[in-house]
Every structure is written in C-alpha cells, then in structure tokens.
Amino acid sequence: MKYTESAPKLFMDTGTRFHRSLIFAMGVIKYSCARTNVSLGLLDSKIGHAIEQASEELMQGNLDHKIILDVFQTGSGTGLNMNVNEVIAERASELSGLKVHPNDHVNMGQSSNDTVPTAIRIAAVKQVHEKLIPSVKEMIGALRDVGDKYSDLVKAGRTHLRDAMPVTFGQELHAYADAFSHDLEILNSVLSYVKELPIGGTAVGTGVNSHPMFRENVIRVINQVTGLNFIPSNPFRGLRFLTDLLTLSGVMRTMAVELYRVAQDFRLMFSGPMTAVGEIDLPSQEEIAGSSIMPGKTNPVTAEASMLISAQIVGLDQANQFASNLGEFELAMGVPLIGQNVSTQVDLLSEGLRKFSSLVIRGVVPNEEKMKRYAESSPALITVISPIVGYDKASQIGKMLNKGMSIREALRELGFDDKAIEEILDLSKLVRPGIQKKT
C-alpha cells in the first residue's frame, strides 16, 4: 500500500481517525461502483465480485484498523480515498487470487473529488436517520408527556432572573417541545438537500473517464444498500460547495443551543435544595456521588454533561463554517474535516438528547408546594391588580411589598375582603389570557 505508507510523512499525525460512518460510506461507494462497472462491461466480473466482497468487509468494520490516515490531510479527502482503495485492492486480491489494482479497478470511474464528498453525505444522512431523528423524537415525546402531566401545576414565572407572572410547569415544558418539533421539521427538510450526491462527477464535475450511465447506476445500487433514497446532485455544485452539510450542521447547532437552554433551566430549578430555587428534584442524579468531599451532595450531572455536549457542537459548527470557505473554483477543500465534524455532531447531539430526555425530563419530581408558594409570593402579582386599582395604586402596593408586607395585606388595606382577594389571587386564572376586572 504505497500511498498509505507514504502519505503520513506529509499529512498530520494527530491520531484522529475517521468516524466509523465515513468508513462505512466509503465501502458503500466502492461496492456500488464495482457492481456498476461490471454491469456496464467495464470491469472483469471476478475482480468486480472480489471488490464487492472486500467492500462489504469494510462496511462491516472488519478492515477499520487499516484505515489509518489522519482526518487532517489533503482537503479533498484524497488520502482517505486512496487508503480505502489500497485496503480494498489488497483484500480483493487475497479473496480472488487475482491482481486487483487500487486505481485501475477499485477507483474505476471515480475521483477522490467525487467519492469523498459523496461519502460524507451518505454518512451524515445515515447517522441522522438512525440516531438523531429518534433522539429528537424521544426528547419531544418526553417533554410533551411530562408537560401534559403537569399542565395545571402553577409555578413562579421569571424574567431577567426576577419574579414575574405565574406560569405552569406544563407550559414551560410544552414551549421546549415546540422548539424541538420545529427543529425536527427543518432537519427533515435539510436531509432532502444532503441526499443529493455528486458521485459520477469525477475530477471537476464533468464525469470524464466514467460511463454515461455510471452515475445513475451507482446511486441506484447505493440506495439498494442503504435504503435512504439518494438522488443525483448537480455535480459541479456538489464538488465545490459543502453548504448543504453546513446547513445540517447549523440545524444541529440550533438544537444544541436549545438543549443548553433547557438544561440550564432545569439546573436552576434543581439548585439548592435549601439556599436556592429548589423547585424540582432529580432522583436519577442520586445514583452517583455529587461531590468527592461533601457526602450526600447531589449535582445535576446529566444536565451539565448535556451543556458540555452543546458547547462542543456549537464549536464544531464554527469549524464547519470556516472549513466551508476553503476551496476555489471546481473543488471544496474542507471535505474530510466537515465530514468528520458532522458525524461527530450527530453522535454528541443524539446522546445528549437521549440521556436528557430519559434521566432529566422523565425523571423530574416537582416540589409542588414550593412552586405554589413562590408563585403566590411574587411581587409581580401586582400586575393583575393594576387593572382593578389603577397603575399608580398598584405601584404603591409594589413598594409596600418590597418593605415586607404581603400582597394579601396590601389588598386588605385597599378595602378588599377575603373573598375578593381569593378571587383576585386565583393563580389558575393568571396562567391564561384574560383581564382582571373589579370585584
């Protein structure tokens, strides 16, 4: 394997190996190209069959240890393509007893410039379908289920980290669910773009050195193997732009930001239990010690791990933005890096959503009494008094509350009896549209 042995001298040697999904995708491409070239009468059937067998072994992970070239290599991914070509040629030669050439046979009708851009899209789509979409659905389902369960549980609202009008715990959870539901719609829309493959474009998009039917037939076989319904792209666009994958990265960045926000909110609600908010408990977090020095301390470890994942996804998206600018004219030059990053982002986000939904969302136990007490104690409740007594008097009540008087005491000073006060402070009426009227 001449190329693979020589390339590390010029590429980086960071120990960063290609993601399993990318190696799988390269195997799919080599399998599909060999089958197509045999069917078109361009490749000897015995050699073609041996390449197919070796490619299947690559897809199954049996040859991963031989894909050794670093992710940080030539921007077109030639290192990955040639590493794969040589590994498959070597194994196909062993299987067939024939001399299988990495370029003449395994790479027939192809270029690194179209195979690796195709592989990173196959890998991304496969990962999203198998891992990310199910995890997003789990998150949405958990938020909706728990939101329905606590749809009538009133708690204090907070804006600017200050007391605000009451909300229900269910309203908060359904807000999160709505955000992730929109993300799922966008994700599915973006996938249809990423499914456009530039295979058959060879070096610059023209398809030179490939059969006129090569492109169509290869994608047909890819779909037989993956079941993912890929279609041909404009090959010139597919080789020079990676913005479809950047868009996918951006959707994951958005979900990561939302995961961070949800995790932060839960972390704050869990804070305490005696000296901070303490509105919820998370029994799942008690399975491991929260502190190495303070016995019995419980920390929101899953929420914090999710926030670290979110930070990494946002960082990888920033790298993808930078790498998407690399390249000139007919070819993008950030191919291996974006491919690696997107697959990694899918792994991280899928794990974060799955663990957060099962251990935090579904594991939450609200402190209902504390939630109600906070909601009733909020100085923001003078907002509902304003339409009754007027803005100026409501402001006076606010000052009275700041001096320690309860809102009930303030209302009594204004002449309201207990029945009227109970009606005014009916929290269930304050978490839906409506205007308070004079009693």
* Per-residue CA distances from 80 to 21, 87, 93, 207, 303 (Å): 13, 11, 20, 21, 37
Residue 302's Cβ-count burial label (10 Å; 0-12, 13-18, 19+) is buried
Give the Cβ contact number of residue 77 at 10 Å.
31
- Write down the catalytic residue from 291, 395, 406, 428: 291
Structure tokens at 399: 């000052």
Could you identify the residue written with the tokens 């007027």?
A: 390
Structural contact between residues 186 and 194, judged by C-beta atoms closer than 8 angstroms: no
Structure tokens at 354: 């799955």
Residues 296 and 298: their CA atoms lie apart, in Å, by 6
Under 8 Å CB-to-CB from 210, ≥6 apart: which residues?
109, 110, 200, 202
Of the candidates 248, 254, 262, 265, the residue with the CA atom closest to the CA atom of residue 355: 262
Is 160 in the active site?
yes
The alpha-helical segments, DSSP class H, found in 271-406 are 301-324, 335-355, 368-377, 382-389, 391-402
The span from the CA of 216 to the CA of 221, in Å, is 9
Q: Is 49 a catalytic residue?
A: no
Q: Give the residue numbers marked as catalytic.
A: 160, 291
